[in-house]
Amino acid sequence: MAKRSGVGASERQAAVERVLGGQRASVVAQDIGVHPATVHRWVNDASAATGSVPTDLRLLKATQELLRDHDYSQITVEEVARHSGVALRTAFHHFDSKRELFRAAIDNAAVILIEAMRLQYEGAQWPDEPLLQLSTFLRLSAEAIYATPSAHVLFRDLGVPRSDSFSERWHDTFERAVEQILARCAVSAAIDPDTTTLAAAHAITGAMRGIHAAVFDGGDPAQALRIINRLHLTVARG
């Protein structure tokens, strides 16, 4: 089913109630034509308001917590169920397989991070110069990432097979945003004329991923931010 551009408040509430009533978020999402991560975000918002945590989210949060000290191959659905206090049969009622559970856990972390980034961007003072916009974008993104504990599943090496690299599409979205800013930099002649914006965006995104991975593996966030504050200079016009 094609993704829909918008869902009304009543339909959103009905979707949340279906999940809270025990239906799979993936099934509900398919029925109304949205991504499962969107449904998880709605449920997460509703849970924050009521103080209750539905089974889906308990399993996702347990998966994210276990991935702090173990990789994909070391964790089983049975262990996730024990960690979250959910019966194994109930866990498999919500997620057919370990693959589906892990994908949902990563999508959930990405949705939470994107909202944190949105709030960070909204409260920022954006400079007029495109190159400084790039610097601001990278810094604000990093600050939001380091303030979002579950974001570690998007950056640490989880031992997921490359064919199942669940987080790649989220990194691709970030890379496209960097490329768009670099394109504005090129128009204003703020970067080296030999710079290929697509290649530069890929390199900067890769550098950011490496820095973030180091932080989530115990590195100093303050030092990481000092490095990130200078990343835009790697493409600046000499």
CATH number of the domain where residue 72 is located? 1.10.10.60
3-state secondary structure of 110: helix
Q: What average pLDDT does the chain have?
A: 87
Query: How many structural domains does the chain have?
Result: 2
- Choosing from 105, 130, 162, the residue where a domain stops is 105
pLDDT-derived band at 8 (thresholds 50, 70, 90) equals confident
Q: Is residue 74 a part of any domain in this protein?
A: yes
Q: Is residue 3 a part of any domain in this protein?
A: no
Residue 190 belongs to domain spanning: 106-234
Check whether 1 has a pLDDT greater than 50: no
- Choosing from 105, 131, 157, the residue where a domain stops is 105
183 in the same domain as 206: yes
Residue 162 pLDDT: 63
Report whether 204 contacts 178 (CB < 8 A): yes
Comparing 32-46, 84-98, 136-150, the range with the smallest average pLDDT is 32-46
- Choosing from 50, 83, 105, the residue where a domain stops is 105
Comparing 28-32, 60-64, 220-224, the range with the smallest average pLDDT is 28-32
189 in the same domain as 94: no
3-state secondary structure of 113: helix
CA-closest candidate to residue 145, choices 178, 120, 179: 120
41 in the same domain as 112: no
149 in the same domain as 39: no
144 in the same domain as 93: no
pLDDT-derived band at 22 (thresholds 50, 70, 90) equals low
- Say how far apart CA 102 and CA 97 lie, in whole Å: 9
Residue 56 pLDDT: 87
- Encode 95-128: b = buried (16+ Cβ within 10 Å), e = exposed: beebebbbbbbbbbbbbbbbebbeebeeeeeeee
- Which pLDDT tens digit goes with each residue over 45-57? 766 656 567 888 8
Report, as an integer, the average pLDDT of 212-223: 95
219 in the same domain as 159: yes
Residue 2 pLDDT: 42
- Which pLDDT tens digit goes with each residue over 40-83? 777 767 666 565 678 888 999 999 999 988 888 899 999 999 99
| DSSP alpha helix (H) spans, 9-129 | 9-20, 25-32, 36-50, 55-66, 77-84, 88-94, 98-122
Q: Is residue 2 a part of any domain in this protein?
A: no
